[in-house]
Amino acid sequence: MPKSKGRKPKKQTRSTSRRGAPIPTSAGSMQYQVGRLRGSDDAIGGLLLSGRAAPDLMIELLPPLLWLSHMHGKPANHCVDGSMILYFAYAQLGILAQPRAVDLVVSNRQTDKSVYYGRPDPFWDGTTFHGHCVLWLPRSGRLIDATVEQYPEVSRHRLGPICGRLAASYGSPEQQAAISQGELPPGSHIAVERQDLLLLYTATDHQFDQVVTSSDTVRDAAERYRRAGINLASHALTFLRLPEVVDNIRQANYRRVNALLNVLGAPVDAVVDERGDYRFTMDGGNDAGQALRLDELPIESPPAHVPTAREKLRHARRAATPNRPVAAERALREVRQQDDIPAQRTDENDAPTAAPVGAPAQAERGWFRRIVGR
């Protein structure tokens, strides 16, 4: 199982750039104290039952939350494993996801201390990935970082994965045009606010587009990743098809999800076979030969997604956002000291990943525990 290797924080030194702004100290090559992955039943219940989450967010955030639940207590420096499993899970749901290498700057806005994680020139050393990996979802403009709590500054808040939506963009007309089409251009920044922290993600150069999947370690594990992704998507669909949830989910206009929900209605049951794979029993399970994996279900391939008028308007607004001075842009200037780099800010308000945000009521918690068997 490949591991990602980061850098241990050091005390910030005060040096000046050509703008006179302090820059964060590189953390060197020493290991930091890796955090642990944490799953939260309340976070899953809050996502599905609170009524605060948009239908598309429910679909996109549920797989990372379920993966964290499966991996609870494991070391969190497995960004490649998590991203690849989620990549295949999203594919089963008809959602395009792109594994992307990034470097990350975590800045404490109270102490003005910043530290680098990942690296702008990621590489593999045997089974160890030197860098950090996330998923980019072009359709929704969300960035998914399921293993962000490997970093000590972030893990102390215990808020779960990053699932932020792009709220504003800056850069050249060409870069803004690429962003409006759902791309994440090299060198572009995404800033996420989390409590007293500002997390600044930077997309690596084009030459590193395939670095995450270029290793023999990842290629050799592809079938294992795919199998795990199919099971993860299957688990997600057992929640998405619940009567209390399904009507909201259908409003998201995810065509493959809707096609799967049409097939997986009553009386189709979900079972786990002796290998640990999810299977769906057709005809109420009367025929053992009809216990099918998710990728074996007889559904028609939905047509390619056609952007809705609302999605086109959202992309146009992102591309037309004026280059005005905001807190995220000022922070990026301090970190990079460059003039013409596209800056992007995410709004994490649409991602209730922590139990206190959109947590279910007491009665709903009991209902959720019955579903998960706890």
pLDDT digits (tens, 9 = 90+) for 155-200: 998 889 998 765 455 556 776 677 777 888 888 888 888 999 999 9
* Of 22 and 318, more confident: 318
Using a cut of 0.95, tell me whether the model's pTM lies above it: no
pLDDT at 236 over 50: yes
Comparing 367 with 348, which gets the higher pLDDT?
348
Model confidence at 263: pLDDT above 70: yes
> Given a cut of 50, is residue 154 above it in pLDDT?
yes
pLDDT exceeds 60 at position 32: yes
Q: Is 315's pLDDT higher than 80? A: no
pLDDT above 50 for 261: yes
Q: What's the per-residue H, E or C state across the chain?
A: CCEEECCCCCCCCCCECCCCCECCECCCCCCCCCCECCCCHHHHHHHHHCCCCCHHHHHHHHHHHHHHHHCCCCECCCHHHHHHHHHHHHHHCCCCCEEEEEEEEEEECCCCEEEEEECCCCEEECCEEECEEEEEECCCCEEEECCHHHCHHHHCCCCCCEEEEEEEECCCHHHHHHHHCCCCCCCCEEEEEECCEEEEEEECCHHHCCCCCCCHHHHHCHHHHHHHHHHHHHHHHHHHCCHHHHHHHHCCCCHHHHHHHHHCCCCCEEEECCCCCEEEEHHHHCCHHHEECHHHCCCCCCCCCCCCHHHHHHHHHHHCCCCCCCHHHHHHHHHHCCCCCCEEEEEHHHCCCCCCCCCCCHHHHHHHHHHHCC
* pLDDT higher than threshold 80 for residue 131: yes
Give the pLDDT confidence score for residue 16 in this predicted structure. 31
pLDDT tens per residue across span 101-118 = 999 999 998 998 999 999
Q: What is the pLDDT at residue 8?
A: 44
